[in-house]
A = this chain, B = another copy of it.
């Protein structure tokens, strides 16, 4: 009966509330927060013992009851537990105690409890996202190493611009992964403060050791402000913001893959196991997997907007609106991020580039126009802007023939028309429109030159390892803390 839980409210929740709100919330918490609630309960127990409020025997009894809890034990029952997870757990334990333990849960609130369990969940999910992210980075890195010598057209404004390679492009994917990992790590460390011990909103009355509680849950420190501890869910905003930014990045890369896989480009192939068919057009082989990744990445920005819409304009206070409803889709946000990353990784593990098609596309365009203009200036002394004009006119004048089939006479002529007499037009043109030469002509650090790419990949390999180690250490702190907690209570 409700009267066992409250002296203030005497009726159980109405059916509609139970069905639409309380039961779904209850089931969500059982499925996703139980682990963290139990850890917190153990920390509280450790503290009650330290404070001399619960004796060792009672503590053992509570601990045994906690250890025995499984998801199946906990049911949303409006009449018995007001369909509230914390009441259900409390009651489950009480029913298994040989005798009442009066001080158990004294000076406690659900507010910091829920805030702490939710944060531990979010922190845990974040490390899983990071794991999937680094797996993507490693897949991109591997493929980059294998494809750093294959010429393909690079585009600006969707027009073929210069010779690059898949390896060059994929190294940019690795850069994205490393950058995102760094931001996620900073986000992780910024939110890694334990809300426990903040009470309902203004703090607690007993001499809880908040530093120790934090440490036992794997937090470097407590959240320093009680109100922030229970009122804020900024971590949900921050994480979704990071995922939003990541989603945009992924969408751009996959946009390129989609173009490369389209019938007009034909630069990549996916195996049949990763392709789709038409039910009606038997000639077709589609790549719906790529569409799914791009489409799925869209939701990542959505969920940030959802967190914003749910939180903004609310009081900075403990509110169900913020603590629960605004986070209703947070689990989906994490799952979507992980799925998007895994599917992208799968693509990189199976995609095959088509060197012939890519090389042909390079050869069909005057990708060496930039080189030609450079040489007109450096070898023949044309002012740069005029050199651009002459090079452009040469391109127009030779349109229709293969660019590599250069014509020094035409170059000399368009230069002359522009007021310049070239001393060695053939030398200026030599190799300017050769595909492989074009790739190696670039020499700045970070360029598409295979040597530059390989140098960058070497650095990235080290950075990927470092990023992996950083995340591993974060997970280890939590694992170690929870393990030590179990030892403390034996």
Contact = CB atoms under 8 A, between A and B. Distances in A.
A389 B245 CA distance: 43
A274 interface: yes
Contact of A283 (B261, B326, B367, B441): B367
A20 B448 contact: no
A202 B291 contact: no
A183 interface: yes
A483 B284 CA distance: 38
Contact of A312 (B224, B284, B313): B313
A77 to B, nearest CB: 15
A304 interface: yes
Interface in A66-124: 82, 84, 86-87, 90, 94, 100-111
Given A4-B385, A8-B284, A447-B202, A225 B390 contact: no
A20 B293 CA distance: 11
B320 A392 contact: no
Interface in A1-39: 2-14, 16-17, 20-21
A263 B158 contact: yes
A172 interface: yes
A286 interface: yes
Contacts of A488: none
A410 to B, nearest CB: 12
Interface in A353-367: 361, 365-367
B256 A316 contact: yes
Copies in the complex: 4
Contacts of A265: 264
Interface in A226-265: 226-231, 234, 237-238, 241-242, 244-245, 247-249, 251-253, 255-256, 258-259, 261-265
Interface stretch (A163-171, A464-472, A474-482): A163-171
A366 B274 CA distance: 22
A134 B365 CA distance: 39
A279 B8 contact: no
B227 A389 contact: no
A262 B200 CA distance: 18
A286 B372 contact: no
A8 B305 contact: no
Given A8-B284, A279-B110, A378-B103, A308 B317 contact: no
Output the residue of A17, A169, A202 with the most chain B CB within 10 A: A202
Nearest to A15: B273
A44 to B, nearest CB: 11
19 contacts: A8-B277, A9-B277, A87-B279, A106-B377, A109-B280, A156-B286, A157-B317, A158-B261, A168-B202, A172-B228, A186-B186, A199-B447, A204-B444, A206-B443, A241-B241, A282-B390, A283-B392, A298-B326, A308-B309
The 7 closest A-B pairs by CB, nearest first: A203-B447, A7-B392, A295-B325, A313-B313, A282-B392, A7-B393, A291-B321
